A and B are shown apart, each in its own frame.
Chain A
């Protein structure tokens, strides 16, 4: 079974917004795969909902939507991976911001390919991880 860790940037294409062309680019990567999110992505999606004042029904739909993903929580080993990733990115002269580092560390720790549309997270490749992106 192929597991994929989706960054929030890619997941956001599958919220019910006006169609973004990027969605169709990522669809073939996702079909038939087990889709995984970091707890940090769940937090970022809820922040979108809160800041836009989503009504209860829409929030309930977000809960159902998140239920389609395997969500990885923080734990002791991931905390160490976060420290490794943050320190390594600093050594590369591109220190990851705290929240970004949780997502990159999750991919790094679980050895999952990270599907992202955020240029800052491409650093995972330099740390030895695998990235799937349709960024130009």
Chain B
């Protein structure tokens, strides 16, 4: 095997693991500072063994960094999972997680190798030999075609109504946007406590995802979520779940009055010609009379 080919394979896998790690960490580290160097160090591959024949190369990822949780492990899993699905083009286009998708984009670069000496690559996790995937000419062709057709993940902000929440299959939900498009959202565990209070409310979600295609269905891995309600929706919601008296007082900026002069000061020198008390009581008497007459 040519050293150049081995280097190409190792480089493609290292990039694939790094891309998967970046996608995984995109949500996890948002707002808490990024650590790109630490991610790179942890995702670096080291050749630690070689056996000739049906060449078996052993690699290890970089050491765990104290500043960063284990990301290389989940990223490697995403690479293997992505490759394991690479025989099925519809799975690649529709159901594959974003981290695996990002990894496959990198691995697609080594397709020309299968036109030369290499028949197939078998990737096996040393932690769990059941986790394995085969990468060959056929799957490389499927990946290349899928990559050509698949819309690229992008950073998106979507506003819509959070309609369904499913806590059984991870934290997933459905969002309907104002154009009637349906977004399948996945939420990080950090948002779990907030979600029940946002159910059936109008929210803005921000994350990395795939914009809806002709089927009007999009996918979004949510990083942040916040309620955004128009005045009418806000009023409607408040009718059913009214805020407390103290909450209303804060919103209206009202506290106890100090003196009566404080209350009267707004009128300045104004004086009414009429007597409001008498007018009010006359109006009430008229209303009460009408109500009584209507009942009788």
Q: How far is the CB of B211 from chain A (nearest CB, A)?
A: 39
User: Whole-angstrom distance from the CB of B258 to the nearest CB of chain A?
Assistant: 7
Output the nearest chain B residue to A72 by Cβ-Cβ distance: B248
> Known interface pairs A35-B257, A97-B291. Does A18 touch B275 (Cβ–Cβ under 8 Å)?
yes
A27 touches B (CB below 8 Å): yes
A117 to B277 Cα, complex, angstroms: 9
Q: Are A76 and B287 interface neighbours, CB within 8 A? A: no
Contact flag A1-B256 (CB < 8 Å), given A47-B283, A70-B249, A97-B287: yes
CA–CA, A12 to B291, complex, Å? Answer: 23
Chain B interface SS verdict (over half): helix
A30 an interface residue at 8 Å Cβ cutoff?
yes
Residues in A with CB closer than 8 Å to B214 are none
A17-B275, A33-B257 known; A120-B288 Cβ under 8 A:
yes
List the B side residues contacting A97 at CB < 8 Å.
284, 287-288, 291
Using a CB-CB cutoff of 8 Å, which residues 3-21 of chain A contact chain B? Answer: 3, 8-9, 12-18, 20
Chain B residue contacts of A3, Cβ below 8 A: 245
Specify the chain B residue showing the minimal Cβ separation from A33.
Answer: B256
Q: Give the contacts of B238-269 with A (CB-CB under 8 A).
A: 238-240, 242, 245, 248-249, 252, 254-260, 262-264, 266-268
- Size of the chain A interface, CB-CB below 8 angstroms: 52
User: What CA separation (Å) do A31 and B116 show in the bound complex?
Assistant: 93
* Interchain pairs with CB closer than 8 A, number: 121
Complex contacts, B242 vs chain A, CB 8 Å: 73, 75-78
Q: B277 to chain A: closest CB distance in Å?
A: 4
> Among A13, A65, A74, which residue has its beta carbon within 8 angstroms of that of B266?
A65
Asked if B238 contacts A75 (CB within 8 A), the reply is yes
| Known A15-B272, A51-B279; contact A31-B288, beta-carbon cutoff 8 A | no
**How close is B288's CB to chain A, nearest CB, in angstroms?**
5
Expressed in whole angstroms, the Cα–Cα distance for A70 and B252 within the complex equals: 7
B213 at the interface (CB under 8 A from A): no
Interface status of A130 (Cβ within 8 A of chain B): no
Q: How far is the CA of A118 from the CA of B264 in the complex (A)?
A: 22
Instruction: Write out the residue numbers on chain B whose beta carbons fall within 8 Å of the beta carbon of A64.
Output: 266
Q: Which residues of B contact A (CB under 8 A)?
A: 238-240, 242, 245, 248-249, 252, 254-260, 262-264, 266-268, 270-272, 274-277, 279-281, 283-284, 287-288, 291, 295
In the complex, the 4 A-B pairs of residues with the closest C-beta atoms, listed nearest first: A75-B242, A16-B267, A12-B276, A64-B266
* Chain A residues within 8 Å of B, Cβ to Cβ: 1-3, 8-9, 12-18, 20, 22, 27, 30-36, 44, 47-48, 51-52, 58, 61, 64-65, 67-78, 95, 97-100, 110, 117-118, 120
- Ordered by A's residue number, 30 sampled pairs between the chains whose C-beta atoms are within 8 Å are A1-B256, A9-B277, A9-B281, A15-B272, A15-B276, A17-B272, A18-B275, A20-B275, A30-B257, A34-B255, A35-B257, A36-B245, A52-B272, A52-B279, A67-B252, A68-B263, A70-B245, A70-B252, A72-B248, A73-B242, A75-B238, A76-B240, A76-B242, A98-B291, A99-B284, A99-B287, A100-B284, A118-B281, A118-B284, A120-B284
Known: A67-B252, A68-B254, A71-B252; 19 extra A-B contacts, CB below 8 A, are A2-B256, A9-B280, A30-B263, A31-B259, A33-B257, A48-B283, A61-B267, A68-B262, A68-B263, A68-B266, A70-B254, A72-B245, A75-B240, A77-B242, A97-B284, A97-B291, A98-B291, A99-B287, A117-B277
